A and B are shown apart, each in its own frame.
Chain A
């Protein structure tokens, strides 16, 4: 059972906009930044969003992040077949001397 809650799956057709939610608590999302990672099949994860809504260099602006209270979401617009991957949210958790917690991951399928 992951500390952050994500839907196990999401889907969309090419060109559509999809959103993936991530729910936490006051000790993690409610008081710290949210990060999003993309993991393509058979590869290492890649940082997609940091500080709630910032994109590292090279990440297309089709990807955007937002946070409100103890929840966050990742939006992908103009969906492309190469976006099919697992997406994970993460945040620092202030409990028990501090540590990072991940969501369980969302498998995005491009139909």
Chain B
């Protein structure tokens, strides 16, 4: 069974750094792209970027380029989303999802989400 298990909820202060994780299991981790999607409270889905776990090729949405970093450690089948300096506007639910063999493939399997709260 394909599973994506995300790290737990985080409460941070503005200016702090953060790295959340997404561990894949039940499939060949390096064969499928993994994407990240933001959902602010009561709002829609926003595609942030996607990474190829095999070679770390990464594509970012123009809206998130330079704002976050997507990475992967294929030795432990885990993808990451990180911020260098959080802002209150980063408060949201973040989902990781497994794509297909191409960066343009749809997101077939989703993690449970990680709620990030940034507040002073």
Contact = CB atoms under 8 A, between A and B. Distances in A.
B104 interface: yes
| Central interface residue in B37, B45, B47, by most chain A CB within 10 Å | B45
B45 A99 contact: no
A47 B47 contact: no
B45 A88 contact: yes
A47 B44 contact: no
Nearest to A97: B59
A26 to B, nearest CB: 16
- Contact size range, A: 20 to 34
A63 interface: no
A45 B37 contact: yes
A2 B47 contact: no
Contact of B61 (A39, A100, A103): A100
Interface of B: 35, 37, 44-47, 49-50, 59-62, 95, 97, 103-104, 106-108, 110-113
26 contacts: A35-B107, A37-B45, A37-B107, A44-B111, A44-B113, A45-B95, A45-B97, A45-B110, A47-B108, A50-B106, A50-B108, A88-B45, A90-B45, A90-B106, A92-B104, A97-B59, A98-B59, A98-B103, A98-B104, A99-B59, A99-B62, A100-B61, A101-B47, A102-B45, A103-B44, A104-B44
